[in-house]
Structure 1
Amino acid sequence: MYSLEESKSIEKKQPHVDRKVLIGRRLAKARILVKLSQAEVMSRVFSVSTSTKRANRISEIENGHKIPDAEILQKLCLLYGVSADWVLGFTIEPEFDNNSSRVGLLLNGVHEITATMVQQISQTVAQVSANYIGQLPKSCYLELLDRAKILIAHHQGEITDDIANLMACVRECEVLLAREQQGHYKQLDHMAERDTKAWQEILMLDVLQVEQKRKILPPTLRNLDLFSGGFNER
């Protein structure tokens, strides 16, 4: 294992060192600068203790015996707060940024939690859909829509693509329901208007018939016709 000063001097003397060795030395340098031991790095990157079979993985990488894959390299760069370009030898300065490192770790943690949450939400929505769609009458689709809206509102703070798709589907359902309700209301208005006109025509016929009878009846019988309910005859 090389110290920080030894690593710097070796890189100056051997500009064309092996790529594995260069990556290993720079990762070792970055680890020393952030004051982390190999055991701590193993625990954070691989989530294992030094007593497992992977205990020497960091040592093998830093000594140039193995090269880290893209996923491990990303985790190490975020943990050390350095750029991948510097680790791979494309730049000279390490560009240490502790704030960026912390933000990256937080983003990775949020991504993992969000992925689990989205999977659970998808399973919940699938169960609700299986229970209600296909076997219940159309009126029960409203209950499914309400449940989906409540579920979305509960997880509003962690919106992902899957949640956004679900929200778009719910909005589409709301639009279709609104159109259906609007058509229903128009039909009711049309029925009310049609019934009003029909009753008006019936009343006019009654009035005309009564007026005609009053013209035909003698004056003495007109009063009798009024008392006998002549206005109700057709």
Structure 2
Amino acid sequence: MTIMNLSQEAQSLNDKMAGLDLAERLSLAASLGGRVVFTTSLGIEDQVITHVIGQNRFDIDVATLETGRLFPETVALIAETEARYGMTINRYFPLKEDVDAYAAQYGLNGFYDSVEARHACCGVRKVKPLARALTGASVWITGLRRGQSGNRADTPFVEYDAERNLLKVNPLADWDIERINCLVADEAVPINPLHSRGYPSIGCEPCTRAIKPGESERAGRWWWENDEKRECGLHVPEAALPSLNSSEL
């Protein structure tokens, strides 16, 4: 299918999904053909999507980026979720040679020193593993919501991802955190215990802190940076990220 056709299909699907519930949105995504992949961070939004996929046995591959620096609670939740829903969550790890190259250039914890170094670390531990997770995929499902941050306020239900040449589906785009919490409580969805300790958004352990009263949901991510629209690079075009010194990263 051409870029123009994919863009048109994304717009058509976006309009169609607006009137569907979550299970119907996921069912539609699963029916689009080709390999359909849901990437989960094991956060509360993603656990809701996993719950609906598991309940309905949708033909959707579930994958996670096991960065090597996740909280122990997050790692434990992977196995708990697999057992609860009788599914396999495919784990994608960073390559050792990439981690070693990063450490040689910036230091293992060099991400604290500059935005460039932090994006390089995310590139090694998240962006490159994501590329492997999405190899051969025609549809990518995410847990993005408009209410998560200002940078995500215009998140559509479906968009054409030109960088990866696939359809990106965000079935929770219009959900707020209250609706998420209600479903979790009603359905006893397993969630990360860190959420109850002030971590609404959970990434790698060295890069995530609990938020303070009045802060946005993602304020605890890369908290030492000043840019309120900071991202890791998974959901923004590569060209929009700071340039990196090493061509290997």
TM interval, shorter chain, is: under 0.3
Q: What TM-score do the two structures reach when normalised by structure 2? A: 0.17
Q: Which has the higher helix share?
A: 1
Q: What TM-score do the two structures reach when normalised by structure 1? A: 0.18
Give the structure with higher Rg (CA). Answer: 1
